Structure 1
Amino acid sequence: MNDSESAGARGEAGTLRLRPPTHRVHRTALAWWRTQFLVAGVVAVVPLVVLALLLPAPVFWWLVGPAAVLAAVSVVGAVAMPLWWYRVHRWEVTGDAVYTRTGALWQEWRVAPMSRIQTVDSERGPLEQLFGLATVTVTTASAKGAVKIPGLDHRLAADLVRDLTATTQATPGDAT
């Protein structure tokens, strides 16, 4: 980021200018979120189906019915929810702050000034590794907790962790 971009992020009298973040998560996050949704659905449906097959006939429909509903909800959710999340999730890092916007129904917009950042971490679970993604976690002194940026390309996430670490080390403040 150059000095003019950094200056553009600041309002009058050097205060942080609050605005929504601009970057979307990586497009592959759609497949990652869909897979998470479907895995959760399978974990819920398979035991019901197995029990239905093992238990006496009168219990069969009491288990297969809910399993069918859960399967349908999982498939519809796996199609619809990731599209919504992709539309809503945003992130941006400037020389002054880390901005995030997340959520489906209840949207959350977070701003973490560089002077408040304590640690920067990158995490890659098994599914994230499969899809080449990572989650960057920016821990601050906020009671609200860490700021997370999920669904980033793993190379971009590594660069972001490196750049944020360098920027926060060079930013005056006590991060409390």
Structure 2
Amino acid sequence: MSYPATPPAPPTDGSTDGTTQEPFALRLPAHQVSPRAVGYWRLRAFITAGVVAIGFGIAWALWTDRPWWFTLLAVVLVLLDVAYALVMPSVRFRVHRWEVTDDAVHTRAGWISIDERIAPLSRVQTVDSSQGLMQRGFGLRSLTVTTASAAGPISIECLDAGLAQQLVADLTAITSRTTDDAT
């Protein structure tokens, strides 16, 4: 696999009878998404802020006898949208992580509510890659791994396009060697 090397697993205490082993500490997935994801997320957030501002501007222009609180609400919401667009992408970049090993796919996403998913490769049913128009402009792709889980697919957003294509090929090769039916 040509993506960054995976750090070693946490050490165990070396016991063989299983009675004195300490609980396994789950480490963070090893890799971050593409640094270009920050610009992509920021542009999407500013587009959303612009749509909100235009919506309030239209309502402000059409509502001639509007109360004073409407203008205050509009200004506060637009300022909050702009602050979100400035702060969120950098924070999101630091917390979104992923890792693919020979045994599993591990993701961690979310900056307010954190979602951590691990799926054994023996449970993988499909591997999909997608690239929207804005992602294409930033050279990014997203990867979706569908498993036999009720929790739904695992997604890795905003990978470098070449890396995402390599991951699809690697995961397809690894999972095709599995003789189970992934259910």
Which TM-score band (shorter chain)?
0.7 to 0.9
Distance 2:56 2:67 in 1: 9
The one of 22, 25, 28 aligned to 2:36: 28
Counterpart of 2:135, as a letter, is E
Distance 1:9 1:95 in 2: 13
Partner of 1:42: 50
Matched, 1:145 2:160: no
Distance 2:40 2:146 in 1: 24
RMSD between aligned residues: 2.5
Q: Relative to 1, partners in 2 of residues 1:67 and 1:130: Cα closer, same or farther, differing over 3 Å?
A: farther
Partner of 1:160: 167
Residue-by-residue CA offset, 1:10-45 (whole Å, 9 max, x unaligned): 9899xxx95421100000000111111111112222
Identical-pair percentage: 43
Which blocks of at least 5 consecutive residues in structure 1 are unaligned? none
Distance 1:116 1:82 in 2: 32
- Structure 1 runs (4+) deviating above 2 angstroms are 8-13, 17-20, 60-67
Distance 1:132 1:35 in 2: 14
Q: How does 1:65-144 map to 2 (within 5 A)?
A: 65-144=72-151
Distance 2:149 2:109 in 1: 17
Task: Count matched residues.
Answer: 169
| More helix, by proportion | 1
Which blocks of at least 5 consecutive residues in structure 2 are unaligned? 17-24
Q: Relative to 1, partners in 2 of residues 1:132 and 1:61: Cα closer, same or farther, differing over 3 Å?
A: farther
- Secondary structure of the 1:137 match is strand
Counterpart of 2:49, as a letter, is G
- Secondary structure of the 2:145 match is strand
Deviation at 1:64, TM superposition (A): 3.2
